Amino acid sequence: MGDAVARSFSKYFHTGAAIITSMNMGSCMKSFHPATVVLVAAALVGCASAPPRNSVLAYVDGDPLTRKDLEYALEVAHRREGLSTARELDVPRYVEKLIDDRLIVQEARRMGIDREAEIREKVDAYILRESVVHLYSEEVLERVFVTDDEISDYYRKNYERFIVDIIETESEEEARTIVHALNTGRPFEEFSDRHPASVARDEKGDYVVTRKSAAASVFGAIEKLSPGEVSGVVGHRDRHYLFRLIRREEAPEDGLDLVRVKIESEIRKQKVDERSGAYLARLRQDAPVTVDENIIGQIRFDEGSDDRDRWLKDTRTLASVGDVVLAVGEFVAMLPQSDDSAKEKVLNRWLDFKIVDREALSRHYEDDPDFRAKLNRYENELIKNAFLGSVIASRITIADEEVEEYYEGHRDEFLMPAEYRVQQITLNSREEAEEVLKSLGEGAQFSWIARTKSKDAYAALGGVMEWKRKDEFENPVRDIIDTLNPGDTSPVLAIDGMYRIIRLMEKSAREVWKLEKVKDQAFRAVYREKFRDRYNEALGELRTKADIELNEKAIQHFERMFKE
């Protein structure tokens, strides 16, 4: 398998896109024993053992809401709102929000929404995705260790210093001419002085090369030299080089701590790739894989434009991993358009994904209580959103008259942004700007000073600028523009190393956009109002029928912990 297998296995785990691709390849995901997966997922809803009373914040018809539920909800909210607001959250209010969500989920389950195909497919996908992550951690990450000796050995090998002299030329011909001259006994320094290298020297004035700092071709040539020896011509990018080794020095003793973390990371990555490759190779060796090589050999796109369409309709089995089947048409759909040269790469990629999927699911990580709890929260979120879509959103209708009525009743929401016309004077120093500001306060004419002293492109116009919206000004101007009345002058403002004074000349009246311009915005506003009303109505009915018990002591305890 080699490095390609290692990269494939690592990429599978490190990129969500790869996993999603794996699950979307035709009907492949559905081939993973869907009935078994669905039954397991459904069973998770009620299998968890009862949580301790002091961790329960509330009961909703006997269904406990725990601290972990709240922590998960807060984590999701922080990703949207930013962690900076976390300690300002009203915990009791958030508990009420969790109660609302649980009421919706319970009602959705009573309606059978949790059994809809789309929900079950997403639950299956979650089980697969999390199982693969667990497998990778268990079989790869947790089995990779980096020792101090490995770090030290890596440092000695890769940071050993080669002190060299260098001749750099633009052409290989010129470099070979110099080689001939060196062979006649002329000194290296004669040409290195005339053709100096365009690389940096160290603080001592030496050219230092290490395995980590040089290209492989360059280091390979230098590594073989003994002190005083000269390399052959080495081409790198668009230059040609000759190297003379002056001396070799061990990696400096005091340098290891500066690069220890980086070295450990590099060694770990290499080991992870190696472990990934070896593990995947073993899985492939043991997996029940079948491939119809005869069909693969027949797939060609060079017979005409209809060739690909014909193969896409082929339902024969091309390959399988256990009972997971890849049809010919599905395989061809994965290939680049009208290109059959990538067949082996694409097929191996599919096999690798399916072999890993099969192994991950066979471990039944979903039996773990923490996994079940995470799955239950994820499924509840899916069910809640499906309820909001099918029961609330889908029943909202909005007539044009309602949009027009909202527009007329909320015209202040549809105002055009104000525009400003200003004059400005730009100067090089704050001292000069303060002098000018003082002169303006004593009655000097703004336009005259702008023409005679300003250092910007508007000086010839007396500092007068075109009309601008607030967001088109630089930050200092934007911050103070609304504090000025027409005729007012600003204080000195520091902008990009210069110093500016502005005078507000005019400010436009804010007109209302015509309905045609903001119809979509008005439509969304009406939709939000209707959605909120229907949501509150449905929730009110659910709360009326529900048995809700709050554990005030547990809520207060969590609130104290959260704010500490």
Cα 304–Cα 306–Cα 308 angle in degrees, nearest 5: 95
Residue 110, pLDDT > 80, answer yes
Residue 76's pLDDT band, with cuts at 50, 70 and 90, is confident
Q: Distance from CA of residue 218 to its chain's centroid?
A: 36
Q: What is the pLDDT of residue 379?
A: 96
Phi, psi angles (nearest 5°) of residue 445: -85, 125
Residue 95 to residue 550: CA distance in whole angstroms: 9
Provide the pLDDT for residue 337. Answer: 77
pLDDT at 338: 67
User: What are the CA-CA distances from residue 452 to residues 377, 439, 461, 505 (Å)?
Assistant: 70, 14, 11, 20
541-548: average pLDDT: 96
pLDDT tier at 86, thresholds 50, 70, 90? low
Answer whether residue 144 shows pLDDT above 50.
Answer: yes
Give the pLDDT confidence score for residue 450 in this predicted structure. 95
Cα distances from 36 to residues 31, 364, 399, 495, in angstroms, run: 11, 11, 47, 66
CA distances from 402 to 84, 129, 409, 449 (A): 39, 45, 11, 56
Contacts 24+ apart (CB under 8 A), 526-534: 526/398, 526/402, 526/403, 526/406, 527/396, 527/398, 529/406, 530/396, 530/398, 531/392, 531/393, 531/396, 534/392, 534/395, 534/396
Residues 6+ apart with CB under 8 A from 11: 18
Span 160-250 CATH architecture: Roll (3.10)
Per-residue pLDDT of 375-397, as tens digits, reads 999 999 999 999 999 999 999 99
The structure tokens listed for 346 are 């694409």
192 SS3 class = helix
The string of pLDDT tens digits covering residues 437-481 is 999 999 999 999 999 999 999 999 999 999 999 999 998 999 999
Q: List Cβ neighbours of 519 (8 Å cut-off, separation of 6 or more).
A: 403, 407
Distance CA 511, CA 415 (A): 6
In the predicted model, is pLDDT for residue 145 greater than 90? yes
- CA distances in angstroms from 320 to 128, 179, 354, 518, listed in the order given: 18, 60, 9, 55
Higher pLDDT, 10 or 369: 369
In three-state secondary structure terms, 204 is coil
Which single residue is written with the structure tokens 């297998």?
A: 5
Torsions phi, psi of 374, nearest 5?
A: -65, -40
Instruction: Measure the CA angle with vertex 334, ends 29 and 124; round to 5°.
Output: 15
Going along 102-178, which residue ranges are E strands? 161-169
Which is more confident, 14 or 76?
76
What span, in angstroms and rounded, lies between the C-alpha atoms of 485 and 481?
Answer: 9
- The CA-atom distances, in angstroms, between 157 and each of 225, 425, 453 are 16, 62, 64
Whether the predicted pLDDT of 48 surpasses 80:
no
Give the fold, CATH level 3, of 417-507. Chitinase A; domain 3 (3.10.50)
One-letter amino acid at 369 equals P
Question: Cβ(221)–Cβ(243) under 8 Å?
Answer: yes
| Each residue's pLDDT tens digit, 295-315 | 999 988 765 557 788 899 999
Closest CA to 388 of 78, 84, 179, 103: 103
Residue extents of the structural domains in the chain: 160-250, 417-507
CA distance 83 to 124: 31
pLDDT category at 24 given cuts 50, 70, 90 is very low
**Chain-wide mean pLDDT for the chain?**
87
Ranges of H-type helices in 172-227: 172-183, 188-194, 216-223
Average pLDDT of 248-275? 95
Mean pLDDT for the stretch of residues 263-274: 96
Distances, alpha carbon 10 to alpha carbons 4, 6, 352, in Å? 10, 6, 11
Confidence band, pLDDT 50/70/90 cuts, at residue 23: very low
| CA–CA separation, 139 and 125 (whole Å) | 21
User: Which two tokens mark 78?
Assistant: 């922080």
Q: Name the least confident of 124-128, 321-325, 369-373, 554-558.
A: 554-558
pLDDT value of residue 35: 28
- 160-250 and 417-507 agree in CATH topology: yes
Task: Using a pLDDT cut of 90, give the percent of the chain over it.
Answer: 77
The predicted model gives 183-202 an average pLDDT of: 93
- What is the reported pLDDT for 33? 34
Q: Are 334 and 300 in contact (CB under 8 A)?
A: no
Confidence class for position 25, pLDDT limits 50, 70, 90: very low
Which residue has tokens 């008259």? 401
d(CA 172, CA 187): 20
Q: Extract the tokens encoding 419.
A: 């525009």
pLDDT band (50, 70, 90) for residue 28: very low
pLDDT tens digit string along 315-326? Answer: 999 999 999 999
For position 88, what pLDDT does the model report? 64
Radius of gyration of the chain (CA): 36
DSSP strand pairing (317-321 vs 289-291): antiparallel
Measured distance CA(181)–CA(174) in Å, rounded: 11
Q: What is the DSSP string of 471-522?
A: GGS-HHHHHHGGGPPTT-B---EEETTEEEEEEEEEE---PBPPHHHHHHHH
- CA within 13 Å, CB half, 328: 19
List, for residues 510-525, the tens digit of each pLDDT value: 899 999 999 999 999 9
Place of tokens 């967001």: 471
**H runs (alpha helix) in 304-418:** 307-312, 328-334, 343-362, 369-387, 400-409
Indicate whether 533 pLDDT > 60. Answer: yes
Chain-centre distance of CA 436, in angstroms?
50
**What's the pLDDT score for residue 51?**
57
Which residue do the tokens 């809520």 mark? 555
**End-to-end Cα distance, the chain:** 53
User: In whole angstroms, how far apart are CA 451 and each of 15, 116, 284, 443?
Assistant: 60, 74, 80, 16
3-state secondary structure of 376: helix
